[in-house]
Amino acid sequence: MSTMNLSASVLGYYRSRCGEIKTLIGLWWRRSYTRYELRHLDESRLRDIGLTRGEAEFEAVKPFWQG
């Protein structure tokens, strides 16, 4: 394999990994944000989505990296 092909291959690998990392960070941010919002819903809104306060708190306290 020539140096040019190897360089392109390595660059492609790192671009792919950067894309995966950006996607993962976006997922973590959305989880964090939605769990924050869930924690602050009032009782009537929780009833609307079919959750009890305990179920909402259980989900809201999970770390952002846990699905």
pLDDT at 59: 95
- Identify whether 12 is part of a domain: no
> From CA 67, how far away is CA 46, in angstroms rounded?
20
- Identify whether 61 is part of a domain: yes
- Identify whether 11 is part of a domain: no
Place of tokens 């993962």: 24
Give 1-56 pLDDT, tens digit per residue: 566 676 878 888 888 899 999 999 999 999 999 999 999 999 999 999 999 999 99
- Identify whether 1 is part of a domain: no
Task: Give the start-end residues of each E strand in 1-67.
Answer: none
- Identify whether 15 is part of a domain: no
Task: Please count the structural domains in the chain.
Answer: 1
Contact 35, 59 (CB under 8 A): yes
Q: Provide the sign of the torsion angle of the four alpha carbons 16, 21, 23, 24, taken in this order.
A: positive
Q: Range of 50's domain? A: 22-67
- Identify whether 17 is part of a domain: no
